Amino acid sequence: MNGSFAASMTNKVLARNNVVVKGDSDRAMLFAHGYGCDQTMWRFVAPAFEDTHKIILFDHVGAGKSDLAAYDKNKYSSLEGYADDILEICASISARNVVIVGHSVSAMIAALATIKEPSFFSALVMVCPSPRYVNDGNYVGGLSASDIDDLLNALESNYLGWASQMAPAIMGNPERHELGAELTNSFCRTDPEIAKHFARVTFTSDNRADLPRITVPSLILQCSSDVIAPLSVGEYVHRNTPNSSLVVMKAVGHCPHLSAPDETIAAIRQFLNDKVYSSP
């Protein structure tokens, strides 16, 4: 491949997904945010691994500071489109031995990426994963089809006041200096049409058949009382994923990396030491 062409492709991918790389270790960790917000979600967890890993953060197309113009409804009508982006990011920065950490829907996106290109990855961490959110026959996903409509209504109501020029910085938050002013209230906002489409794709996805195809060692971080991914779903993922470990956390809700970063960091660290970096 022509050198300058490769360089321009790399730049295109890095800009498209607002990729941020820190550190220069042989070992890398790539964090994939879930539905709703952007890479800022990893603010309390990613720095803990900076000493030992190259840290790769990015925004899915349609979220955060990604290139909204790159949002292609066809490509992103299934989770594979997002998984392909992750593989392109890894290829662009020649990342290998990557520990890929995915939250919520990105746990499945990350899993798909490891299935497609196992040689890129050394391990998979799935934070609050669900291969299928909607109940289906004997399978209990936790949500019904009408619940998804209810969510779309909630999205609609909360985007009524949305305007494209409002996207960055709504108001300052002088009391909290650790937050850049540019973040305030903006990192959970995106174009309403994209948000609705991503919600539909996320909550109607069915990746149960992909779980047995995961080959890299994996960790499932399951929260207590998670309305989106209940305990039985975490257990289902564990049962159906070869070479997987399940940790049920004390943290409640669906965002332990925000509400209980210390517990999250400790669980990931232990998994890496025990299952990934332990010498035989």
Partner 1 sequence: MKLLLQYGSSLMIKCIPRHDFARCMIPFISSVTQTSNADVFDQQSEEALYNQLYDELRIGYFSAGSDDVVLNANSTLLRWTGFSHEELVGKMHWWEMFSIGGRIYCETHVVPLLQMQHFVKEIALELAGKNKEKTPVLLQASLTKNVEEESKSFLRGVLIDASDRRAYEREVFLAKARAEELAARLGESERQLRELMDTVLHDLRNPLHSLLLSLEILQAAEYHDNNAAQKRQTVMNIAYKTVEQMKETLENLQSMNALEQGMVRVVAEPCSLRELMESVVAKYTSYAAAKNIELRLDIRTDNVQRDITWQTDRNFFRQSIENLVSNAVKYSPHEKQVVVRLKASAEAVRVEVQDEGPGISEEDMKKLFGKFVRLSARPTGGEHSTGLGLSIVKKMVEAMNGRVWCESEVGKGATFIVELPKAE
Binding mask 11-40 for partner 1 (x = CB under 8 A): -----------------------xxxx--x
CA distances from 70 to 42, 101, 237 (A): 23, 24, 32
Query: Which region among 63-71, 117-125, 220-228, 231-239 touches partner 1 (by CB under 8 A)?
Result: 220-228
Catalytic residue among 33, 60, 254, 257: 254
* Selected binder of partner 1 within 209, 252, 273, 277 (CB under 8 A): 252
x-marked contacts with partner 1 along 221-240 as a string, rule CB under 8 A: ----xxxx------------
Number of residues that bind partner 1 (CB under 8 A): 43
Which one of the spans 18-26, 181-189, 206-214, 270-278 is the region binding partner 1 (CB under 8 A)?
181-189
- Whether 78 is catalytic: no
183 part of the interface to partner 1, by CB under 8 A: yes
Q: Which of 104, 122, 130, 218 is catalytic?
A: 104
Q: Which 53-72 positions form the footprint of partner 1 (CB under 8 A)?
A: none
Which CB, 7 or 170, lies closer to partner 1? 170
Torsion 166-182-91-99 (CA) sign: negative
- Residues 261-280 interacting with partner 1 (rule: CB under 8 A): 262
179 binds partner 1 (CB under 8 A): yes
Three-state SS string over the chain comes to CCHHHHHHHHHHHHHHCCCEEECCCCCEEEEECCCCCCHHHHCCCHHHHCCCCEEEECCCCCCCCCCHHHCCCCHHHCHHHHHHHHHHHHHHCCCCCEEEEEECHHHHHHHHHHHHCHHHEEEEEEECCCCCCECECCECCCECHHHHHHHHHHHHHHCCCCCHHHCCCCCCCCCCCCCCHHHCCCCCCCCHHHHHHHHHHHHCCCCHHHHHHCCCCEEEEEEECCCCCCHHHHHHHHHHCCCEEEEEEEEECCCHHHHCHHHHHHHHHHHHHHHHCCCC
Report the nearest approach of partner 1 to the CB of residue 161 (Å): 8
CB of 253 to partner 1, least distance (A): 6
Residues that bind partner 1 in the complex, under the rule CB under 8 A: 34-37, 40-41, 43-44, 104, 143, 147-155, 157-158, 160-161, 173, 176, 179, 183-185, 187-188, 225-228, 252-255, 258-260, 262
Active-site residue set = 104, 226, 254
